Structure 1
Amino acid sequence: MRGIYLVEFANGACYIGISGSDCASRLIAHGKTYDDITGFRLQRFAGAYSALRDRERSLIHDAEKSGLVVRNREHALRFEGTSVLNDVVTTDDQALWLEEPVARNSLDFDCAPPDLPANQIESYAHRWARFGGRPDATDLIEIVGKYLKSTVCHARRTEAQFWSVSCLPTSNPTRLSCVTINWMETFVLFTAPSGQVQASLFVDGDELPHGAFRCAIYLRRRGIRRGKIKHAPGGASQQQLIARGHKAIETMTEDPVIMRAAASLNLALMRKGRSSQIRSHCAQLARAALDATVLDPA
């Protein structure tokens, strides 16, 4: 049977899925994975598969907004269950980190850089040299450093595992750098056609000032506007923020409310799994950014 299904678990959690051919086989597979299933619901769906996927995403987002705990990892930001991040940063330390990211990240100052293949480091040497030749290179490095230290859980300890940063990626000539966490590009520096540097930052919208008008005023006063891009791993509450020009970008990366919202999103993404772009990680930019500035933990 083609359609959408919902699996119910004993602790009140749920899993929302789809099948374009046979929901029964999917339910059998879930039965082999979980031993606490208490029931399921099924809805026939005769539309195109793309419409089925859209409906799945919509239902998962609605479930998150309603406060339900879901076991989906795609389309949902937070999920129930253990995380591979726990092997590197304990759950207690994750909670402590979220309350004071800069201070907790500063504890890892003596962490050794990740052991990356020599050919990967060498392959990005020429891009790093081009990046360093920009007249605003120092400012850009400091901006990336502020972002990593304020929003990435134990950034030195998790580098090239749970986050990665690219440098002048050849896939998009307008991009200067891109931080990827899980499957999501969370922070991108790029140049507009005018040559002005801009930044795209993703945050947990639930951590921004409540109320559409209040939030809009808060962002506008800081020279920041909302974007429209959404990513599957970011869940229902994700929000894209865009800053134009160095001054607005610095304001954004120094704002405690915005950085808290970014940290909340990033920790949830890191718990979902490792970065998908480790091969694109530029160790030179990461090291320069992490060593660039010492933020005040207070």
Structure 2
Amino acid sequence: MSSSRNAVDKWASKQGFGPVRKFEGTKTKIGGDPAATHAGFYLLMFKGDSYYLGESINLRSRMGGHSSFWGNEIEEVRFIRENLSKQQLQAVERLLIHELNRTVPNRCRNKTHAAVSFGTDKLEEFLDPAEQLRWLSAPAEFNMSDHSDLKAMNEAQAIKYKTAATRYADHSAEPATTQLLRNYLTNCVPVPKQTEFHGWNVSTGTYGGRRLLCVCVGRMETFVVFRDLHGFVNVRKSSILNGAMTQRAFARLHPDVAVTTVSYDDSGADTLLLKAKTPKAFSRLMSDPRVLDAAAQLVLDVMRKHPSVYTRYHCPQVVERAFPDVRRASSDEIDRLDAIETLQTIATQPVGGQCAEASTSQTRELLPDVVTEEVPDDVDIAWFVNAGPIASKRNTLEDFVTKGEWRMDPSARFEGHVQAMLQGERIAVRKRRNATDGVPFATRGNKVSVMDILLTGIITKNPGDGCSVKVRWDPQNKPRRWYLYTNQDPVWAVPHGLAPHNDELVAFTFDGGQQNIDSWRNRPFWRDRFGD
């Protein structure tokens, strides 16, 4: 038995996991009443000495999902049966994954909540493992030897953020901010000219314009510059606080930097957020080799897990300012690549027209409680927006339909939302109000938040002005009314495919679905006022 297995068994027993069981999918002996549904935690043990920790409200069903996904790679499993809510299970799971990752740092298969994930390297197509180690030993030197062009970008990506890019360029702090970005990319991001958009992205003007720059890797922000040139950077805690470099010693070196232990889903518990309180302190912080090395380690760990999921916010013009002497490949080149990929896809499809991968995905959807940790490259969003105030006589439904667009008055707070809208995403104009009449359930004298869906369509183009998009509107029908779960912001982004309550709203709005009003009014938030 390996030393890591001994360490895991000792740790698992200390945490209260039951005896080691042979993994047999849904037939695995969980313990307790075999006819009952058991919630709790499980620890999978794989061939080749790797481990995965998870939670489920139905452990038996979850074992079936893992069996379909990993098959005979799983040898054994241990359980803790705990009758907890989903939220409680997830909170404890996070802590257990942190502990498991510390116990066997390089043998944990979890991606979420783990600092390092075993068996996953999404960076390998850019740098093989040996090159990654060489990069980590001298990031700036390695990156300076990369003479690649910047990636070709779809023209729509640049157009979408042209207003934000112009504001960035016109900001008085642009030269200093761009230098900070260039320094971060050069010292902390593996071959940034190659991995742009795929592995990392940069946005500008988000959070109502408060953030001048934000670099994201995977599913987390790693480097942020605010408008007044203070900012923060996320780093590997174990890489910077070791030996004589205690947190107290670090504070003496950087007295105007707040040091906070944080835990992002992507980077796990071994993460520090270093926030400089002044521009001078931030500049000093980002000149400290120890900080840059610790930031580089974190970026490498996260980029190995999966690509960036925030590509919709990427502003290529900012990258071009950071690398002014580097050519960006033309959009014609990306068009040619798209054409080649399309031909390759057609050539590899079976005669029946359905590719094998799609068939596998359909099969997985039928399996109970299937678990995959692949992160989508982007999130499908449905946009719920307002028309203009009636008194203003601007931005009316008639205007929208006649001009084939949706438009709002300029708003710094919501400009970023509008810039994030993508061609092909769905959009609905709605009107929210509080109602007391015509409600199909007992209100007991309480007002009910309702949302009338007035117009739906598909976004066809984002001109990048931050206040409008072109839309192909559906034929107007009688407004449909949605109850309780509403939002009054002029732009409301509702992600689709991540949560059932949002999916029900999207299906109601765009697909003619029905709202299960009885279910909604009996949910905890509304139960006391409208429940049975």
Structure 1 residue 213 displacement after superposition: 7.8
Matched residue, 2:480: none
Matched residue, 1:39: 76
Please say which of residues 24-33 and 250-259 is displaced more in the overlay. 24-33
Distance 1:213 1:96 in 2: 25
Matched residue, 1:214: 246
- Equivalent residue in structure 2 for 1:57, among 72, 87, 94: 94
- Equivalent residue in structure 2 for 1:234, among 232, 245, 267: 267
Q: Say yes or no: does 1:83 pair with 2:121.
A: yes
Structure 1 residue 53 displacement after superposition: 0.4
> 5 Å matches for 1:82-161?
82-108=120-146, 110-161=147-198
Q: Say yes or no: does 1:246 pair with 2:279.
A: yes
Distance 2:312 2:127 in 1: 22
Please say which of residues 50-59 and 122-131 is displaced more in the overlay. 122-131
Over aligned residues, Cα RMSD in angstroms? Answer: 1.9
Checking the alignment, whether the CA contact within 8 Å between 1:152 and 1:267 is kept in structure 2 is yes
- In structure 2, what residue type is equivalent to 1:238? T
Structure 1 residue 150 displacement after superposition: 0.5
Structure 1 residue 14 displacement after superposition: 0.8
Distance 2:240 2:148 in 1: 32
The higher radius of gyration belongs to 2
Structure 1 residue 154 displacement after superposition: 0.7
Higher helix share: 1
Matched residue, 1:19: 56
Helix, strand or coil at the partner of 2:134: helix
Structure 1 residue 287 displacement after superposition: 1.8
- Equivalent residue in structure 1 for 2:235, among 203, 218, 223: 203
Please say which of residues 229-238 and 143-152 is displaced more in the overlay. 229-238
- Equivalent residue in structure 1 for 2:104, among 51, 67, 70: 67
Please say which of residues 199-208 and 215-224 is displaced more in the overlay. 215-224
- In structure 2, what residue type is equivalent to 1:208? I
Helix, strand or coil at the partner of 2:98: helix
Please say which of residues 214-223 and 143-152 is displaced more in the overlay. 214-223
Distance 2:300 2:203 in 1: 20
Highest RCO, 1 vs 2 (Cα 8 Å, sep ≥ 6): 1
Checking the alignment, whether the CA contact within 8 Å between 2:236 and 2:272 is kept in structure 1 is yes
- In structure 2, what residue type is equivalent to 1:145? R
Q: Say yes or no: does 1:277 pair with 2:315.
A: no
Structure 1 residue 228 displacement after superposition: 5.1
Q: Say yes or no: does 1:190 pair with 2:226.
A: yes
Please say which of residues 220-229 and 154-163 is displaced more in the overlay. 220-229
Checking the alignment, whether the CA contact within 8 Å between 1:65 and 1:236 is kept in structure 2 is no
Matched residue, 2:213: 177
Structure 1 residue 282 displacement after superposition: 0.8
Q: Say yes or no: does 1:286 pair with 2:324.
A: no
Structure 1 residue 80 displacement after superposition: 1.0
Distance 1:212 1:165 in 2: 35
Structure 1 residue 165 displacement after superposition: 0.3
Structure 1 residue 261 displacement after superposition: 0.5
Matched residue, 2:443: none
Structure 1 residue 201 displacement after superposition: 0.8
Helix, strand or coil at the partner of 1:6: strand
Checking the alignment, whether the CA contact within 8 Å between 2:113 and 2:263 is kept in structure 1 is no
- In structure 2, what residue type is equivalent to 1:131? Y
Matched residue, 2:34: none
Distance 1:117 1:185 in 2: 23
> Structure 1 residues 172, 44: CA separation in 2 closer, same or farther (over 3 Å shift)?
farther
> Structure 1 residues 91, 213: CA separation in 2 closer, same or farther (over 3 Å shift)?
closer
- In structure 2, what residue type is equivalent to 1:279? R
In structure 1, stretches of 5+ residues that fail to align are: 293-298
In structure 2, stretches of 5+ residues that fail to align are: 1-37, 326-532
- In structure 1, what residue type is equivalent to 2:87? S
Checking the alignment, whether the CA contact within 8 Å between 1:145 and 1:291 is kept in structure 2 is no
Structure 1 residue 99 displacement after superposition: 0.3
Given the two structures, how large is their TM-score scaled by the length of structure 2? 0.52
Please give the per-residue CA displacement for 1:224-245, whole angstroms capped at 9, x wherever unaligned. 2213543111112011110122
Checking the alignment, whether the CA contact within 8 Å between 1:189 and 1:197 is kept in structure 2 is yes
Matched residue, 2:454: none
Q: Say yes or no: does 1:264 pair with 2:302.
A: no
Distance 1:272 1:131 in 2: 31
Checking the alignment, whether the CA contact within 8 Å between 2:258 and 2:276 is kept in structure 1 is yes
> Structure 1 residues 118, 16: CA separation in 2 closer, same or farther (over 3 Å shift)?
same
> Structure 1 residues 220, 127: CA separation in 2 closer, same or farther (over 3 Å shift)?
farther
Please give the per-residue CA displacement for 1:255-296, whole angstroms capped at 9, x wherever unaligned. 11111100000001000111111121111111212348xxxx
Matched residue, 2:507: none
Distance 2:244 2:291 in 1: 15
Please give the per-residue CA displacement for 1:49-83, whole angstroms capped at 9, x wherever unaligned. 11110111100000112235211111112111142
Moved over 4 A (4+): none
